[in-house]
Structure 1
């Protein structure tokens, strides 16, 4: 077959066009900082990247859930700290009230008044909120779990719902404490102690003291459980953060372009293009097309 000038020029133009396309793709990669701009350029790498990005989205969801659990449990821990301080003070006051040297008037005024103030503070703490949601009412987070329809009656209005948060695919943690179990005995003992002080009733006051001490022990047990859950959440949070960093590093290796290597490849292809252009000019010197391309 006879090779004509036109065939030679067509071949040269096609070869130069392919080189120019490769240069353009490399310029796009350098500009974006990525090894490929479309999955078709690297199907295997793109598949790995998609898998890693899916993993990152899952990690982000667990990190959000873990942060919510941490915030809720931290608020719960703070409420227990306040309650234990109030209970300790109440035990001190009631113990003083059982002193035989104390008169009925002092019990009914000084001590009963302070215990009543502790009761009011304890009710507020039992109705603590976090982000507008009540902490101790189970699933009933939109209404106060405790109320006092009468001066000597404490009512729990929550339910028994246990709120779970996911820390990983196989790990859930309960974040709430039910107020009727944790605080109701304490609130009832406070009411009993206040009324006994006002009535100058040592026998009932001693019963109230036993109730306060028992309630303090119960609250301490619940607080210990909250602390253990907080540590579990913090360990999970640290693990998620570490895993996220490792996954981001793997994704970077799959996707990110080595800039120095990319620039070196671009220069090599530009040099190859120039060389091909010069060879084509010499081979088809009679045609002015290549002068135009230059």
Structure 2
């Protein structure tokens, strides 16, 4: 086969161009830290990357859901703690008022304090978190307790607010308000007020058992919420592990081995210089050089 100068030149230019492409690809990997920059570089890596990134996105969403769950549950527990303190104070006042040596005016003063404590309970029942009422079931836009002219109206919505915290795992983050801030509680407080003000003949000491029952309901609901909180913490630990694993798998699939990339770049630079040196020698001789 006849080999001409044009063939040598074209082959040399083609190989130098390919060398530039390999160097550009290696430099791109070094600057981005990724094995590929477009799906056409390696379709298999690209497809796996999409699947791994989807898994990571789901895990990150579960982390945000867990944060929302912590917000609801911690605020619910804090509110019930305050409500328990209020009921315990009401019980102390009831014990004090049941003393037969107190005068009617003194019982009336205790009744006024209990009225204020009852209104404080209403404000606790209407606790809002991020603009949502947390003690009205899944109806988070309306207050669960309304007080008008001393009359308390209580919602009976006991539907749970479920948040998905892992794949297929939903946990209710609110409490059942009908077991805590219910008609029975506020009716007992209203009757206690009436007895202290002389509008009710029921003995004041009889309200102690009723108050104990309401306090026990609060404590039981807090205990149930605490059990769910412990479960949420276990789910959080598991999701955190999944996030670490998902990031590692995604990194193994997409991230470039920097040490190897630097070595490849140095090798490509050496080969490129050698190709340029050989090319300069090939293109230098011409027919005129031999006719001189």
1:86-97 matched pairs, under 5 angstroms: 86-97=86-97
Between the aligned partners of 2:91 and 2:177, the Cα distance in structure 1 is: 21
- Give the drift of 1:67: 1.0
Deviations 1:206-236 (A, max 9, x none): 3322211101101111111111122222222
Cα deviation digits, residues 26-56 of structure 1 (max 9, x gap):
1111111111111222222222221111111
1:164 to 2:162 alignment: yes
Q: Distance in 1 between matches of 2:279 and 2:96?
A: 108
Counterpart of 1:37? 37
CA contact (8 A) 1:107 1:200 kept: no
**DSSP-derived class of the 1:199 partner:** coil
DSSP-derived class of the 1:166 partner: strand
Matched-pair contact (CA < 8 Å) for 2:133–2:140: yes
Deviations 1:70-92 (Å, cap 9, x if unpaired)? Answer: 10111111110000001111111
Aligned partner of 1:4 in structure 2 is 4
8 Å Cα contact 1:167/1:236 also seen in 2: yes
Please give the alpha-carbon distance, in whole angstroms, between the structure 2 residues aligned to 1:46 and 1:251: 11
Alpha-carbon offset, residue 178 of structure 1? 3.3
| Structure 2: tracts of 5 or more residues without a match | 287-292
Q: Is this contact kept in 2: 1:104–1:200, CA < 8 A?
A: no
Structure-1 separation of matches of 2:154 and 2:263: 73
Matched, 1:176 2:181: no
Instruction: Provide the aligned C-alpha RMSD in A.
Output: 1.8
Contact 2:73 2:174 survives alignment (8 Å): yes
List gaps (5 residues or longer) in structure 1.
288-294
Equivalent in the alignment of 1:130: 129
Distance in 2 (CA, whole Å) between partners of 1:106 and 1:192 is: 17
CA distance in 2, matches of 1:158, 1:146: 10
TM-score (norm 1): 0.91
Partner of 2:20, secondary structure, is helix
CA distance in 1, matches of 2:24, 2:234: 48
What is the TM-score of this pair, normalised by structure 2? 0.91
1:155 match: 153
Q: How many residues align?
A: 285
The corresponding residue for 2:242 is: 243
Equivalent residue, structure 2, for 1:258: 257
